[in-house]
Each structure stands twice: as structure tokens, then as C-alpha cells.
Structure 1
């Protein structure tokens, strides 16, 4: 690539990876607001301990339900509106959910005056946030893959995963910075709203930059707009490579149209089951509990609010560093060995943490166990 090509590819990749950053940011921002949400919306209901815990868990995790919806409709959205159009939808949902979850009383009643009645719109906006996350999680890497030159495609797509963990780390710093402006009472009345509203800044940047980028050449060819696709590819790859790539895309689309769709189990049922179970266990290992409840967990271990948020930042740093190491070593060491090592590290860290809790040793050792678990 020429320097001009490299700059263009880098710029388009940066815009797309903002979707990944918002994935991490919007899912982890709730960690700083859990105590305030409980105090404002759930505790006044005077529920039993079981019902209170269940409602709090649903409130915090409701965005994950939206993620499922977003992932399900992402393919349809990408086909109908394009990769750029789908990401614009995600950006709009991010922006709307940021304002709505920070001020769920908007359009219903006075800010801060509805009490527990604001919980339902709050959950609604968090679900909208999840839908945006689900769409972006599918379309950001797809956009990068379809605009990236083949020789660096894998490397550029991996940046999306890095941007997810960087988004988590960024919001941990933002939550700490906001919380440091007041005491616990201020956080429960005002600070939590600012934490959630802070999502609007990267969301607005994402949506604004998307207006300045083209859709992917592959989608344009699928819509019969090969001339427009060629113009983009010439800018990305040069004239000769651009023409060859358009021809390759058109040929691949003809093959997809002509041939019978392969069986889901064409490579064997064990491969499909293993892939599905990897995704399932990725959730079952409990990483979401750490992402959402790390500050609360550290406070229950005796830390102050400020210290708990700093310890959460340390966890985020470990997560980001381990992701960088994985990206740099995956082609050398292989996917399977890294998965095995990561699973063993998480298992040992959780067993250690369990024994420490049982022995009521919740100091530096417990923090180290959580950090090692996050790195795994």
C-alpha cells in the first residue's frame, strides 16, 4: 500500500473500531452505578432479599438481553441498510441509551422525582444499549474485514477486540474520575447519572465519523453498485488491484448464488458443538460478574469507593494487557493452546479466591486473584 492507502485504511479501521470501544464502554459503565441504582430504584420497593437481588441482577444485566436481540437482527440490518447503515443504527442506539439511562425520567416526570417508577424506563434504555452492542459486535469486525487489504486483514480485525477491552478500561477511569468529585451521597444522587451520560461522548463521535466514511465495496457490489465499489477499492488498493478485487467479489457472489448452501455440519458435528460450547463457557466462566460488579465486590472486601474503583482499573489494565499479549502471540502459539492456558489460569485464580474468601483473607491476595483471573 502507498502511504495514502495506508492512511485511508487506518482511518476507516479506526472509525469501525469505535463500535468495539462502545461495546466495552457501554457494557462496563454500569459497574460504577450499581450501588446508586439499587439505592434509588430498588431498595425503596422494600422487597424480600431474594426478590431484591433478582431485580437488581436483571437491571444490571438487562443490556445482555438487548445484545441477543442486536446480534440476531444484525445480519438483516447489514443486508438491508449496509454495513455503514447498520453501524449508524448502533451509534444512534448508543447515543439514545446514554441519555435515556442517565435520565430515565425524561418525558415522564421530574428528574429524580419518580423514584422506583423510573426503573422500567431505565431498563428499557439499557436494553436499547444492548441492541446497539449486539449490532456493533457483528458489524464492526465485518466492516473492517471488507475494507482491509487481504495481507493485513487479520491484524486489523484483531484491533476490534483490543478496542473492546480498551473501552472497558476507559470507562473504569471515567467512573473513577466522576466518583472522585463527591462523596457516596453525591454519587447516589448525581454521579451515577454522569457516568451513564458519559457514553454519549464516544457515541456521538462514532456516529459523526460514520457519516464521513463509505460503505464496504462488497455490500456495494451486492447492491449492483460496482462502479462505486471500484472507486473505493482504487483509493484503497490502487487501480489494478481494485479492478481485480471487484472481479473477485462479483465471482464469489455468483458462486454463492449458484451453489447449494453447505450443510451446517459439513465439517463434522464435533466442530460445531465445540465452537458453540466455547461461546457458552465464555459466558459461564463469570467474567461478566467481574465486569459489572468489580467495584461492589471490592467494597464488600473492605475497600472505600475510591479504592474500589482504582482496584477495578487495575483489573481493566490486566484485561487489556492480556488481550494485547494474545493478539501478538496467537499466530505463533495457536488458538487452542492459548484457550487451554487461559482456562487453567482462570480456574486456579477462582479456586484461590474462593479459599481466600473462606478464610476471610480479603486483602492484596484476593485482588491479585481477581487480576490474574481477568488476565486469563
Structure 2
């Protein structure tokens, strides 16, 4: 197998962690419509069932840093795959074993742990093996896998739901939806044993010969030797500075910038749309129940197409231009949706607003945040810094997913002025913040090696 094919193979396998992330996001969207009625959940409890996995994601991201440093990126991903599998099995337990929301929540949290660990380690691993001129595209494979997982699970849940009566879906259809995740989680776990350890982690552990072998397989003999020297020089500079002080002004500044950028991805409102798409289509947009899953498949398809566009443009146009273009599109989409709901003129224009938002997010903040986070942090602090930034993202995800259903049913949102449109104007405000923050604080990293990016922060 030549270098390019080997690089593509291990990138694709690692990106399967993103596929499970997307699959889990989509499966709760499809299943919650039925399990809400099965358990007769109120708005707050429904938010807890959907959002509970995000607490696992948050904790998973927190422990991902220490795990990654001690055990390595590959072993951390294997642990995440095992957790995915346990969660998929347990979430669909037969009714005679599980009749409480509490046990379902426990297994959702276990799955969240797996997502949290994978969401930090997978894009970081890809960034550490990728050549500078292809890194943006290859890290975007992670976001592409998220979107493919999201799209695939909608097809699966549509197939399961459409071939069962409503009574059957309430009784066991939603359990089958959870169980369907066993297939991709098993594939991920098995395929990970074909992936080598991260060369940068090996060099951090002074395993220079192993690192050179891996880099040679990926980049060829001459490029591998050059890259080993660059990485070793970077690590030597950090070693001369002594023990890393994470609270020093320079390091805390980088971590805060990365964490805020990561948080803003969630405050676009993307997961309000993805987690509660069924509710939005039924209640806000007025679609009939028979049309809900069809509309969500359309949403997932748009997500997929624009992610593919991002893949071929992120290394050509750069990270920041995509954020600007996508932010304008997201703002336009939510303003269209918000005004049509506020004016009670819901229809095809409202659907166009949702799809414009989804496509614009998939072009920009969806993939670009993962690319920037995976490459912006210096070698010595990458695991811990990215762990913090991803944990902050999951905390923001939890806040949005927990609060969205409550804001939706609140008196403030349902008065004669807002008419149910308030959440979309709140999200629009944060999208404007993204444009300003990106302009002022996010460096352009297109075409630069990880060591060159590290030097940006030293200036």
C-alpha cells in the first residue's frame, strides 16, 4: 500500500469516531419522538433525556486529555468505541428489563463518554498525521463522518419507523433505533486495530524509532526524517522552558481563544435543530407527522452536500473565509425562519430558512472549528488544551439542548410579539458574535505545519 492510500485509510478509520457522534445525535432525534410518548415525558424531563448524553460528553472530553497523554490517541479511541457499543446495547434494553427513564439515561451518559473521548482524540490524531497542505481537508473527514452518520441514522430510523405502526414504534421501534448503532460501533472498534499510534505522541514519549516508522509509512522516508526533526525541535524548545504552566498568560490566552471559538459553534443553535428537528418541523413549521422524517432526511442531505463542499475548499480558500461566508448564510437562514414564524406566515420560506442555516453551518462552523482546534495548540499542551476546548463545547451543547425545549414552551416565547420565534433571534445574535470574534482572534492556519502554527503564538 502506498503512502497516500495508507494515509487515507487511517484517516477514514479514525473519522468513524465522528460517524458515531453523528449517528448518536440522529438516533436520539428519531427515537425521542416515540420514547417521549412512551415515558410520557414533560418538557424538562425530555430535555434531560436528550441532554444527559451531553453530560457524558462533557466528562469524556475532560478525561480525554489525560487519557490521550498517558495511553495515546489510538488507545483512547478504542476505549471510546467500547463505550459506544455498551451504550447502544443498553439504550435499547427490552421492556421487561427496563421500564424507567433513569436506566436509559445511564446508558446515554455512557455513550456520551465515548463521544467526548472520540471528539477530542479523533480530529487531533488526524491533524497529527496529516501533511500541512492536506490537513484541513483530512480533518474535515471527521466532520464529514459526523454528517454521514447523521444522514445514515435518519434513513435507518425512517426505515424502522415507516415499517411499524405507531403502537409498535411506541412499544419497541425506538429500541431498535438505538440498537442499530451496534453496527457502526462494532466496525469502529474492529478497524481501530489497523491504525498506528500517533507519531507526535510517540515522540512525546521518546519513542523516536517507532515514530519514524509511522511517519515513513505516511509521508515517505525523506519527508518523515524532516518531520521528526521539526517535531523534536519544537518539543526541545518547550522542554527548555521547563514544566508547562497552563495558567501563564500566553498559554491561558490560547486556551481561552480556542474554547470560546468552540463554544460559539454550539451557540449557533445547530444542535437545537438537529436534536429537536422533529418538534420544529411539527410544531413550528406546521408539517404533518407523516412528513417529519422526510423533512429531516432532506435536512441531513443538505448537511452532507455542503460538508463535501467545505472539504474541497478549506485548504483552498482558508479557514476564516469559510467562517465569514457560512456565518452570513446562517444568519440569513435563521432571520428568514424567525420572521416567518413571528409573522405567522409559516410555509416553504420557513423550510428554506432552516435548510439555508444547515447548509451554511456545514460549510463553515461545522468543519472549521474541528480543523482549527486540532491544529492551533502547541505540541506540549495540545492534549490538555483541546480537552478543555472540547469540554467547553459539550457544556455549551448541554445548555442549548436543555434550555431549548423550555424556552420554546415559555410564556415569553409564546406571547403575541414573538409567536414562538425568540430562540432563532437569540441564535442570530451569537452568529454575529462569531464573525467579530473570528476577525479579531482566530489566525489563518491554511498551509502551515503544526510547528509553524505554534510559532504564530510565540510572536
TM-score band, normalised by the shorter chain? 0.7 to 0.9
Aligned-partner Cα distance in 2 for 1:237–1:273: 33
1:308 is matched with 292
1:368 is matched with 352
1:248 is matched with 230
Residue-by-residue CA offset, 1:144-195 (whole Å, 9 max, x unaligned): 1222234423321222122212221121111111111112222111211111
2:57 is matched with 67
Contact 1:221 1:229 in 2 (8 A): yes
Aligned-partner Cα distance in 1 for 2:326–2:172: 39
Aligned-residue offset at 1:66: 1.4
Aligned-partner Cα distance in 2 for 1:216–1:281: 29
2:208 is matched with 226
Aligned-residue offset at 1:53: 0.8
1:106 is matched with none
Q: In structure 2, which of residues 158, 170, 175 is the aligned counterpart of residue 188 of structure 1? A: 170
CA shift in 2, pair 1:134/1:315, >3 Å: same
Q: Does 1:35 align with 2:33?
A: yes
Q: Does 1:199 align with 2:181?
A: yes
CA shift in 2, pair 1:56/1:233, >3 Å: same
TM-score w.r.t. length of structure 1: 0.86
Q: Does 1:281 align with 2:281?
A: no
Q: Does 1:213 align with 2:211?
A: no
Q: Does 1:149 align with 2:139?
A: no
Aligned-partner Cα distance in 2 for 1:77–1:186: 42
2:421 is matched with none
1:340 is matched with 324
For residues 57-206 of structure 1, what are the structure 2 equivalents within 5 Å? 57-103=47-93, 111-113=94-96, 117-206=99-188
Which stretch of structure 1 is more off in the superposition, 281-290 or 238-247? Answer: 238-247
The total of aligned residue pairs comes to 357
Aligned-residue offset at 1:359: 4.2
Give the root-mean-square deviation of aligned CA atoms: 2.4
Which stretch of structure 1 is more off in the superposition, 161-170 or 295-304? Answer: 295-304
Contact 1:265 1:272 in 2 (8 A): no
CA shift in 2, pair 1:163/1:112, >3 Å: same
Contact 1:34 1:296 in 2 (8 A): no
Residue-by-residue CA offset, 1:33-74 (whole Å, 9 max, x unaligned): 11222122234xxxxxxxx21111111111111111111111
2:437 is matched with none
Gapped runs of 5+ residues in structure 2? 361-459
Gapped runs of 5+ residues in structure 1? 44-51, 104-110
Aligned-residue offset at 1:272: 6.6
CA shift in 2, pair 1:88/1:286, >3 Å: same
